[in-house]
Structure 1
């Protein structure tokens, strides 16, 4: 059997196959610019490399492995997709070296990259399973939902399991449809620990032998009885508890949608499993909604509970000025959701724009770093749900000044003393380069 595992947000897509030899794997590596985004101050590209290192450390030595990368050579080219390493016996050091050398740059041709890998693995001729882990959605004018329908329809047995990594809840539907169209699982993961658990769960699922198909159930005269409960109100972007009676099937799901939405509509959704309840996140847009329990078989709503989503409020404070590149303190009111974030952006920047950002967690303040470019900025408190700015405060970033001194001459290979004025930020650095070298060299 051929299994295709695509991991793109961590930045990684894993494609495992067993057509001619059990355990063949093609890794599709997401090198789009969004990989420079940070989670709790750590760039996602670093999280991706660490995750790949952990994966390689436990992967069987007999497994054939290959690598496809996209978005790493041209900033705006949607066709920037490359087979970086052909499928072959595992060489962990060489593989990790190639992964570490890929730098995020371009766009996210997610659909074309999965199609590229599928073609190399002859998905029309043999069963194929895709596991997609993504930190972003398609931005190359392609429709991954339509692609997944095509792959499922034209392939021998094409299944896609999807892990949405560090995505806003309203973005889940753009990836969840891939799993739904191909009979796979959709698992949200909001941090490195949840990602590791989700990858492990999917890996264990793929490793299990395929079950014998279950016989079609006899037609039922009536739908099963079901009840669901939720609070009468919830704040936009906040978590709230939902509970239900005994699940009909573990693949059934719960979701929150506007009142009167069509059958089968969903935003974020969660499989019920064997549980009787869990937390879900309220949409960013206030209004009248309903929480639904939906049968996986036929997308039939068995139970619904009304809920009004109220507008969320927050306040934020920061100093009026800060020196470029320096740290400054930011405080805010009680967090709406621990995955909300604070950032500093130019005045008038589009909603959802960010430079460096920090999750609010359960705290009420932390330090941010001022941009290197002087000018007028604002510090924002942003809902993780929908990227909606709840509060903002202006701040002027002033030009930083520093002085440095060194001897006029030094012998090649020798040590020499360097001194400088008060540091702007402890992470600033000193170096020696040829005269006229580019900035950042």
Structure 2
């Protein structure tokens, strides 16, 4: 009977492999970042968890099942491989709990993971089959094709079947060699259904494979003469520190040096690096103290040419922090001598798992750093954590206590206006104050500002009246420390403009008391959407402004618009007429539409005589209303003659009431060449 030594779940959606052909099975589960990719709107990790639930539900009790995961704990770490469940009878709840705890984070050390699974199940002593299903290729500078050839050579009967899921043609070629080098099959799959079909095909191949008869051991061949090599390293190294390794003349630039436990199998490695064209490199000592050896390993066949013992010793470390810290505040952490600049300090609940962190920072080359206290009061501990293996070297308890805070604001404010907010002592300069509807969710905000080093700030009231609350919000966790109610009330506003204006001329707009200097007035077609505008200007600190009429005649409205929410508070209708259209406000003015330069024309009106001071004036079309080129004082007569300028252009005849400073009529006259 052929043993399935490992199944690599680099994706998801696998139908359970019949265990009738297996005694021990190791699932190598992909926790790399690519598992967040989606297929038909569902992430691969979610689908994988569902399929794993089906798998363990139907797994026969006659066989053993184990779980090995990679890429799920640390970003960018090619040694992130973890045996989560040793092979044994399936305990469904424990197995699924372990699977569901895997959160994709890191890289894809595919080669090392398959190798570790094979080593765990003693592939050199037992027939072994690997079923590898992957949505990506190796990302840790390892050669899976070479490994497959090595496992085939060294194993009793090693076979790898490979399913390439959603891969490019080039990526297919990079994975197909694994199957080719071990006598297995390679099957591409583009979607979940094809993946299930591919698994069925591989399963059928496995179930029909005949039992492997051990081949007679060949006569021992003469060992090729090994190149002479030496390797040197310090006799002792502290856990997690970098140390220098040197060697004799390089055999091949792709050879590598590594540190492993004394007596580890050939090809094993923890921290390792290619020798390239160097004569020395830096290695990282493991996280656990003990007896190790540094090896110079030949790339061809992963054969050790030289080794030297290294004792990895415990690091003595201390860490200090205040006994108490207020929620959300920054506090100082100090420690003894830095082990490795990439180590980090963090604050976590007392008893949290190794590697857990809330707020954390690298120690780098500092002797102290600032950490942020969590948002929730309680018992915590500050830890100095070794980067290698995320192992805690020292810790100290810290009680995080509640912050006392108050916040004050006016009981009522007008919508869109600025109002002042004050508070008690600032907890953290990055905290913020905001105004939200009463009962809004934690962290919600409309208008908000950082408190910084102030003791008061101004907020903008929302555009809609109603009941609100001003909150002082802790930046850490967006938690509300204090709040006060504020009623936002409607603003009364009016806006005025001429009822008729000519196209592309300027006209004056006035309004009541300004709500906010950043509010604006605009002219838009009647019924235009809220926030629309053609010509518009901020009201600033004025009580009137000039707007320019649109080029197209029609019915428009002038609006006073609240800057907060672009809400219209008041409007007034305006008819825009053609640029040369006469405008009459009771004068009944009649003027020729065109005339020659210097020509004398007759102008008449119908308004009755009055004791007021009235004039019929000639002015350039764009001149202010009460300036003119010539003017005729009006008495009882109802017409006069006006001599036009010699310069061609557009002019306007105006009937002016000087007493009331009003224009009772106006008409355009074009003076041609």
TM range (shorter): 0.5 to 0.7
* Structure 1 vs Structure 2 CA RMSD: 4.8
Q: Give runs of aligned pairs for residues 216-235 of structure 1, distance below 5 A.
A: 221-235=224-238
Aligned partners of 2:70 and 2:394: how far apart in 1? Answer: 36
Whether the 8 Å contact between 1:325 and 1:372 is mirrored in structure 2 is: yes
Q: Which residue of 2 aligns with 1:263?
A: 266
With over 3 angstroms needed to count, the CA separation of the structure-2 counterparts of 1:399 and 1:335, relative to structure 1, is same
Shift of 1:137: 5.9
Change (3 A) 1:268 1:178: farther
CA distance in 1, matches of 2:81, 2:391: 18
Residues 148, 232 of structure 1: CA spacing in aligned structure 2 closer, same or farther, 3 A cutoff?
A: closer
8 Å CA contact 2:330–2:372 kept in 1: the answer is: yes
Larger helix share, 1 or 2: 1
CA contact (8 A) 1:341 1:358 kept: yes
The match for 1:393 is 396
Aligned to 1:78: 49
Aligned twin of 1:160: 137
Local SS of the residue matching 1:305:
strand
More strand by share: 2
Partner in structure 2 of residue 58 of structure 1: none
> In the aligned structure 2, how far is the partner of 1:179 from the partner of 1:392?
44
Tell me the distance in 1 between the aligned counterparts of 2:116 and 2:413. Answer: 63
1:371 aligned to 366, 371, 374, which one? 374
Does structure 1 residue 431 correspond to structure 2 residue 408? no
Distance across 2 between alignment mates of 1:317 and 1:182: 50
Picking from 338, 341, 344, the partner of 1:338 is 341
The 1:133/1:386 distance shift into structure 2, 3 A limit, reads closer
Matching residue within 380, 388, 393 for 2:383: 380
Unmatched 5+ stretches in structure 1: 1-5, 14-27, 32-66, 81-108, 114-131, 165-175, 184-205, 207-218
**Taking CA–CA contacts closer than 8 Å with sequence separation of 6 or more, which of the two structures ends up with the larger relative contact order?**
1
Name the residue aligned to 2:422. Answer: 419
Per the TM alignment, residue 335 of structure 1 is displaced from its structure 2 partner at its CA by 0.4
The corresponding residue for 2:257 is: 254
Report the secondary structure of 2:293's partner residue: strand
Q: Structure 2 residue aligned with 1:297, among 283, 297, 300? A: 300
Q: In 1, distance between residues paired with 2:387 and 2:416?
A: 51
The match for 2:6 is: none
Among 266, 280, 284, the alignment partner of 2:287 is 284
1:149, 1:181 within 8 Å by CA — same for their partners in 2?
Answer: no
Of 324, 327, 332, which residue of structure 2 is paired with 1:329? Answer: 332
Specify the SS of the correspondent of 2:397.
strand
Q: What TM-score comes out, normalization by structure 1 length?
A: 0.57
Give the 5 Å matches for 1:20-59. Answer: none
CA distance in 1 between counterparts of 2:250 and 2:136 reads 24
Structure 1 residues 240 and 78: alpha-carbon distance in aligned structure 2, compared to 1, 3 A threshold: same
Q: Distance in 1 between matches of 2:323 and 2:427?
A: 17
Give distance in 1, aligned partners of 2:375 and 2:329: 9
Q: Secondary structure at the residue paired with 1:368?
A: strand
* Stretch of structure 1 that moved more, 415-424 or 353-362: 415-424
1:29–1:68 Cα contact (<8 Å) kept: no
Distance 2:116 2:319 in 1: 43
SS of 2:331's partner is: strand
The number of residues matched between the two structures is: 303
Q: Deviations over 1:144-186 (max 9, x none)?
A: 5349999xx999xx9934249xxxxxxxxxxx68697479xxx
Aligned to 2:635: none
Would the aligned equivalents of 2:237 and 2:313 in 1 still touch at CA under 8 Å? yes
Question: Cα distance, 1:252 vs. partner?
Answer: 1.5
Q: CA deviation at 1:393?
A: 1.1
Cα drift, residue 134 of structure 1 = 6.5
Q: Is 1:355 aligned to 2:332, yes or no?
A: no
Query: In the TM superposition, what is the alpha-carbon distance from 1:294 to its structure 2 partner?
Result: 0.9
